[in-house]
Structure 1
Amino acid sequence: MSLFWRIFLLNAAVLMVAAVLLLGPVTVSTPVRPGEALAVVIGLVVMLVVSAVVLRIGLAPLGRLSRAMATADLLRPGNRPPVTGPAEMADLIGTYHTMLDRLEHDRASSTARVLSAQEDERHRIAQELHDEVGQTLTVVLLQLKRVADRAPADLREEVALAQEATRGTLDEIRRIARRLRPGVLDELGLASALRALGAEFPDHGVAVRTRVAGAPRTAPALDHDTELVVYRVAQEALTNAARHARAREVTLELRRAGGRTELVVTDDGRGIGEAAEGAGIRGMRERALLIGAELTVGPRTGAPGTEVRLHVREPVEETDP
């Protein structure tokens, strides 16, 4: 039973006892006159209604706090019930705000450490793939070429097939290394990295149209961590469109205007529907929170498919007085 009904029923019991006493032994006349009985009943109803209204108003902050706690999501900060009500209730809501702020801060700090370690590990694996596996396959490819030059005619076709398989494996290793650590992002910037990312996905059966609007190289530029977050969000959105949405065409747009950078990825797939957010979308939200960006994932307007939007506020340049 809720606190409201506990207090209300307790007040109702007390008032009913008082009414019975007034209609019974404690009365102004014997027998009870109809007018007196009617006055007592009306008074009882009025007191019950007033008690219910007062309790409902008094306990409303507690109800808002309960709903806020039930719907709290650390990946969607900002949902805070107002600090209202009696002193005890206001203290309770303020304590909840403090606890939620601490949880969001701790989660952001731990997520930053985890993602940083993840990027370092990706860089290490990409480097090893490029330096160790890639070089080994290159040596194998050269050796196969020497074998093909000396092999009899009846074996050259098989050696050629082995060369093609090795060359395809080498290309796949290099593609994986680029996805793990996009070197073009460090060397040429975000716009070129997104174009290179879109150029990779036709191999997965998805046609990607990449558009960059505005002046992507004009100041104030995004820092490296922010560019990496934008790139990873675009990468995850394209992967979801190809792997889960079964999309055939995806549009990847990077816009920069009015001190804001906006990444928009739309596809013509089957959409997310009522399905719960998976690890990929939650990972995008975690990355967006690290740079104070706003991420929205939902259906396209007026067309089937999914739309991913990432709004990033660019840093403001400091001017000398």
Structure 2
Amino acid sequence: VDSTMAVDLEWSSGRRGHGGDAAETPLERTLLLHFNALLPVVVVSVCLGAFDDIVAAVLAFQGICLVLLPLIYIYTMQDGPLIYFLHLKQLLCNWRKQVKFAVAGFLLCMGVGFGAFLVVQSLINEEKVVEETKEDGLNGRAFPSAGSVLAIALEFTFVNSLLEELFWRVFLYRELGRSLANEAVAGTLGENSILTSAASWDGDAGSDEGDSPRGLNVFSGDERPKLLVSCYYSSYHFVVMCFFVPWYLALAGFLGLVFLGRVLVFCRENEIFGIVTGYGIHAGLDGAFCLIMLQMYKHFVRR
């Protein structure tokens, strides 16, 4: 399947298939992307602030924000599933070479993440964190056995990080990047230029590099989608941290996660590391978080 044709079909799906004015539909879909990117902030705020339920926050975040809305968006694109099948195939074409970096990134980030906690441990009121998280559902009633604790830790480490990488660094990064690329030329150039720009954003239009992901989704060095997705990625973490740690630690965490998000975008675009390495790094940090929580609880299973 010719990649430029696939991009053309995708752009056409913004103008057809939903009815209404041709110029309005792409804007509506762009607004939907931003809504989907900000929805995690709303979900965690409601679940933690109104219902005091961490488990509900995680499940709603994963089910609605990371899975349901992106699938609706993709399946309302013309040939959307095919386009994303080809897109993922290209992203994963060098996965065998990238696995070693993913494993190294996983182990390194788990160790560094847990070590960073030990450095700032004295600044955290661990007793308060434990009591509040227990009140919010992380307690022996919800997880009565060591097996259930292990299961949720493995889910959060490997499944949550996978869903997040697919959402933030594949779906949202691709679609927001295309949207910004189109906006950059829509005011002065015709539709053919818009299609060319969108094809360039997909990275392989006119390329003679075969399956190489080099340059994939790099549009003239445009930092906007990279930083925008990184800020969106960090924003809901900031809200969660505000519930449990002092504001200055939450702010430091926000800035650190913006930087991390940009690093993960770099991995996703890089031919050597790829999104597989980004997943390994993300999983390592999620695993470090689970170790931190277990370190703070200690008596978690017995209560």
* TM-score relative to the length of structure 2: 0.28
Higher strand proportion (structure 1 or 2)? 1
If asked which structure has higher relative contact order (CA below 8 Å, sep 6+), I would say 2
Normalised TM-score (structure 1)? 0.27
The structure with more radius of gyration: 1
Which one has the bigger helix percentage? 2
